[in-house]
Structure 1
């Protein structure tokens, strides 16, 4: 009965974490390019009451083991693509397929994002392409993208080449967006503000040449929505709530059984 108490307690703790993950998904249902999380669990070590015992084709062919609960094993990101919706803003960029934009954080580290709602930050006679938080967007050489004052008719090609139109009608290439991908995107570290940091688990960022056929094209005038599906999250939350309730019932049942055992002498 004590084993039942502890096993059910681990189940309640696991389902509480599951609800926390689902709640975060629902909170970010309207966050641009948000990727939903999914909690994963593993069973804990088993107590072996009796081992299998087969000699000469006779004996007990199975083990007698009792589990002692569950534990969270991972919270993984679902990097499936969200829907693209048209904004008409030439500085709104979305990736139709795998990949991340590179930005420079306030700590001079390079971070990666799927959120392409970029802005122009004026600095004297020049303009820098930045995120909504003011972080510089980087080109394919990890340098900030700067316009020399001419920001007329900005166009971005599917390969990320940024061009502006000169007063004489000709076009001028400004830079090429830094777009990267990772061998294991689930290994990226979420740091908030729609940013990810590369880790040893994610591997080093690779360019379009490194991921030939596995890199998205740039869609100008579009943004990517969150890939959270509200109906699915609500169903998952109901299932987690019911699992939490069932584990609490198991604790109550074990408590009542202990009460009966304690009152045997009465």
Structure 2
């Protein structure tokens, strides 16, 4: 029986060395998870046999268990590298359409615009609707428009945040005041204030029609009384209204013929009325339209001035944006820490196109390794549960980084020496048994 003991020990030690060698070979493999050989004894016995009737007949490798401990996260700076810190796997779709799972986040963008692994499997994620910002609930292969530009979007809203100078005089100007020392209190002489040019407080921005053709829009603000300003989009109209009021005499309020709205501020400089201004009719400068066409059609453009203030400082525009854009080509892709895939386009637009999906399993050790840094689910692992990074028991992502192999090289080298000694010891039991058998055969 000792021959069988030694032989089983040799086999088990050899398999253990195979596992250790595989770990060492993959010490630098991104997302690799080490394994360990787990042994069990072999016993020969008869049912119901009493004490002393059970005989050990050696050892076997009961399982090769994967160790899904966290690997170190190394910053790479590559905008398509992403590491999982915690539980979960990236879901990928292989060339045959089957699903696989990986911890290696060294992704690439291929020539067709697909986000893929080094093995060519497509990375799965949740698509984001650019219009609403909402993501789908079903994971699908992530692909981006590298062969054609994204469609233009017409402007529906202009948002402006600015400060109007509270020290400004009425746009029409102010008549001169003669001195009156006998008045109570005495009145000092005041020089006339000329009309303020209509372009003094103005700014401009480009808006876009449905074909992405830009049309410049200007905004002009004329003070028309205490804490009150008129809003114009046509300089010629503003100047005409100003000239009419000035001709009636300095100090005459404006009688706007085409003011788009009136901004009213309180004593603290906070806007209390006049925003938003809906239905701005902006004529598109598009030679392809058979007749004059307004930006955003009959609905018009909404002018959001809710961030306007009136303080005693110079006129300054803090922010001026609109939500339309021309068509544009994809220039770069970045994956953020929450898994959002941000695409940048040549028209200056950067928007979320998708979110990387994560999968988790009830028993990750039941996954079957199929090579190429991939695992597939099995009956033992249970079905994949899909989710988003950071939700529930799913790990967080680290963009611009990769998860290293979790192989402890020092420990593996020590384990290799131990396995080698075990192999030598089992070989020695076979040698000793052979000597014993030779002694018995040579008895006379």
Q: Same fold (TM over 0.5)?
A: yes
Task: Indicate the residue corresponding to 1:197 in structure 2.
Answer: 376
1:188 and 1:49 map into 2 onto residues whose CA distance is: 36
Q: Secondary structure at the match of 2:38?
A: strand
Q: Is contact 1:48–1:66 with CA below 8 Å preserved after alignment?
A: no
* 8 Å CA contact retained: 1:49, 1:65: no
Any conservation in 1 of the 2:45–2:55 contact (CA below 8 Å)?
yes
SS in structure 2 opposite 1:68?
Answer: strand
Q: Where does 1:81-230 land on structure 2 (aligned, <5 Å)?
A: 81-123=70-112, 127-140=113-126, 141-149=138-146, 150-152=329-331, 154-167=333-346, 169-208=348-387, 213-230=392-409
Instruction: Tell me: CA distance 1:50–1:129, structure 2 relative to 1, closer, same or farther (3 Å).
Output: closer
Match of 1:57 in 2: none
- Rounded to whole Å, the distance in 1 between the matches of 2:78 and 2:413 is 33
Within 5 A, what are the aligned runs for 1:6-17?
6-17=4-15
Indicate if the aligned counterparts of 2:101 and 2:375 stay in contact, CA closer than 8 A: yes
User: C-alpha deviations, 1:132-175, integer Å up to 9, x for none?
Assistant: 12221111433211112354453333331212234554432211
1:58-73 equivalences in 2 (<5 Å): 62-73=51-62
Alignment deviations for residues 88-131 of structure 1 (CA, whole Å, 9 cap, x no partner): 001001101111111111111011000000011122xxx11111
Are the aligned partners of 2:330 and 2:346 in contact in 1 as well (CA < 8 Å)? no
CA distance in 2, matches of 1:229, 1:105: 30
Q: Deviations over 1:229-254 (max 9, x none)?
A: 11100111111110110111101111
Q: Deviations over 1:33-90 (max 9, x none)?
A: 11001111111123469944xxxxxxxxx54432001111111110001101011001
- Structure 2 equivalent of residue 58 of structure 1: none
Aligned length: 251
Q: Distance in 1 between matches of 2:25 and 2:372?
A: 14
- 1:239 paired with 2:236, answer no
Q: Aligned with 1:242: secondary structure?
A: helix
Give TM-score, length-normalised by structure 2: 0.54
CA RMSD of aligned residues (A): 2.1
TM-score norm. by structure 1 comes to 0.88
More helix by share: 1
Greater Rg, structure 1 or structure 2?
2
